Structure 1
């Protein structure tokens, strides 16, 4: 994720280049039921985290709720948030800090519920580096992307664990280059998501990857979730509620059967990771679905207190300049049941 100033600079280009448009039409299924055509743009090319949406399509969960769902690859959370706010897609799947920053810049979007409520943010490295605790990062070269949420919150993570920014050497690279930097030895570790880069890096290098997870070391915040434009919320409220209900149901089904969920992704993208990486990614994702406040509840149910913690974290990190109340960013009225 880029800086907030870059978000503003990129906005016109993003809105022009966004993937596809919103649905708006209708289709009829085999039994004669009319379905709303709906587009969902992901935060990136499909990977294990997205398995519930594909399982929901395969098992007709979305169809049951009157939705003919089209899943589209994204090009980063910022672009997905912008495309959603601009009406180029009906719904988005994106990282919460990107949504917070965009709302602060006036983009008309709101979260419909965060699903990854425990952050997958982590420092990732090969076991051979003998890194077992934050103190072992002293003097290490860390690959990160300047201006994104991970890099902005990393100083807070270091401080929470008795370290200073000067204790590590940051190497700025684009998101796609971080894995290559670690595999080649140009960096000792990278900042990434335990549900994304780690399994891929492990498979490519044939070496075990380990993690220092922010959430286990004093720093947790909301990550990816479902969002819509305020216009969609106001004009298509019934559709929004059905989409939220179907999404929560699909995630619950995937949580019960991870293998079936990743199997449903077959053919989703030419860039799709291997079956084993997909499974590893989704099994990690399942561990991120709740905080202590939402354990036992349906996927996608949030609390105002958890939202406030996230907002405060990113205000302190400089991702947003003004901390607004949770209702500014999140529409609790459409929360799933259960």
Structure 2
């Protein structure tokens, strides 16, 4: 069952008071615009900026009534945005291109890039002696079918001399992936850096026993996740899209300035979260995934259409797209916050 989280009336009122306290514009009696948001993953560090914006009243201050639904992978978000049940979501840029190419329709447009480079990786235990891509030949990897890293693995394989049948995939539930690796039931798994590393450590695997191959270090220069909005919502509620991005940017700034406070808000949202694990996961996401040199210089959110097109073209060859979509048709940058507001690392 999908997990959806909105605020109670008392929490909502508290959020408005908090927003007023930090100088955000007060809301009049105008009705709030509902935004049904599909997250890429569970309530953990990667979704903290959304939770911060929700619980601190930043969405409310923008006139938005936001519901956050947990996800099962960034690739799955793209499909879920076609159902009509969601207005916006965090999806994988490569999966967006693949869907458009093979279905002849644009299910959503990316409105704010979050990961300048894909956080996709292959994890193994060092005792398995998988130190380079060639060592994966003949091995069994596990991941959900909706895993963003698994979806683009063929490009990683092609860039490193692996054939399409050189590895065997075992489709597993996301909750079982890391435990299967820890127990030695599979040779390796695919996933995203922060989630994979910390989930393995939570299972008792020591950091020094984990071997990691990041796709971006092995010839895969793709974008990762982005905030997306459906064409209908973009057309009918452009102000809501812009407001969501402004509030989310504030959430990122707050998470950077007060990581302990951000994790405390996560804990209030998800009582099962482990503070120490989520603090480490948040550090990896903010410093290694979000905080690239380009983002530190130019701010979060901006797309390079030529670079995205290059990635689409590369994927089209190895995944045998039915057609090759244009990057410009999959991106809409009109609703990004102004450049100064997007400088989340300025402080």
Instruction: Specify if TM > 0.5.
Output: yes
SS of 1:179's partner is helix
Unaligned runs of 5+ in 2: 7-11, 21-25, 340-347
SS of 2:42's partner is coil
Alpha carbons 1:41, 1:72 under 8 Å: kept:
yes
SS of 1:124's partner is strand
**What do the CA deviations read for 1:140-176 (whole angstroms, capped 9, x no partner)?**
4322445854334323323323444555444443433
Does the C-alpha gap of structure 1 residues 253 and 301 become closer, same or farther in structure 2, counting only changes over 3 Å?
farther
What's 1:179 paired with?
178
Cα distance in 2 for partners of 1:292, 1:108 equals 31
Superposed CA RMSD? 3.0
Cα distance in 2 for partners of 1:99, 1:301 equals 17
Cα distance in 1 for partners of 2:82, 2:4 equals 13
What's 1:263 paired with?
264
Does the C-alpha gap of structure 1 residues 254 and 230 become closer, same or farther in structure 2, counting only changes over 3 Å?
same
Alpha carbons 1:21, 1:88 under 8 Å: kept:
no
Does the C-alpha gap of structure 1 residues 171 and 36 become closer, same or farther in structure 2, counting only changes over 3 Å?
closer
Aligned residues: 317
**What do the CA deviations read for 1:194-227 (whole angstroms, capped 9, x no partner)?**
1212211122133322311111122121222211
Alpha carbons 1:19, 1:89 under 8 Å: kept:
no
For the pair 1:193 / 2:198, whether they are aligned, the reply is no
Cα distance in 2 for partners of 1:277, 1:117 equals 24
What's 2:99 paired with?
102
What's 2:345 paired with?
none
Q: What does residue range 70-85 of structure 1 map to in structure 2 within 5 Å?
A: 70-85=67-82
TM-score (norm 1): 0.81
SS of 1:89's partner is coil
Shifted more, 207-216 versus 90-99: the winner is 90-99
What's 2:9 paired with?
none
Alpha carbons 1:142, 1:188 under 8 Å: kept:
yes
Unaligned runs of 5+ in 1: 1-16
Q: CA deviation at 1:283?
A: 1.8
Cα distance in 1 for partners of 2:177, 2:322 equals 28
Q: CA deviation at 1:78?
A: 4.9
Q: CA deviation at 1:294?
A: 4.4
Cα distance in 1 for partners of 2:320, 2:276 equals 34
Alpha carbons 2:181, 2:187 under 8 Å: kept:
yes
Alpha carbons 1:20, 1:88 under 8 Å: kept:
no
Alpha carbons 2:41, 2:47 under 8 Å: kept:
no
SS of 2:211's partner is strand
Does the C-alpha gap of structure 1 residues 19 and 48 become closer, same or farther in structure 2, counting only changes over 3 Å?
closer
Cα distance in 2 for partners of 1:185, 1:304 equals 42
Cα distance in 1 for partners of 2:5, 2:234 equals 17
Shifted more, 228-237 versus 252-261: the winner is 252-261
Q: CA deviation at 1:94?
A: 1.9
**What do the CA deviations read for 1:98-153 (whole angstroms, capped 9, x no partner)?**
32233342254211122012111111122333443334434443224458543343
What's 2:232 paired with?
231
Does the C-alpha gap of structure 1 residues 41 and 59 become closer, same or farther in structure 2, counting only changes over 3 Å?
same
1:33 corresponds to which of 27, 34, 48: 27
Does the C-alpha gap of structure 1 residues 210 and 310 become closer, same or farther in structure 2, counting only changes over 3 Å?
same
SS of 2:213's partner is strand
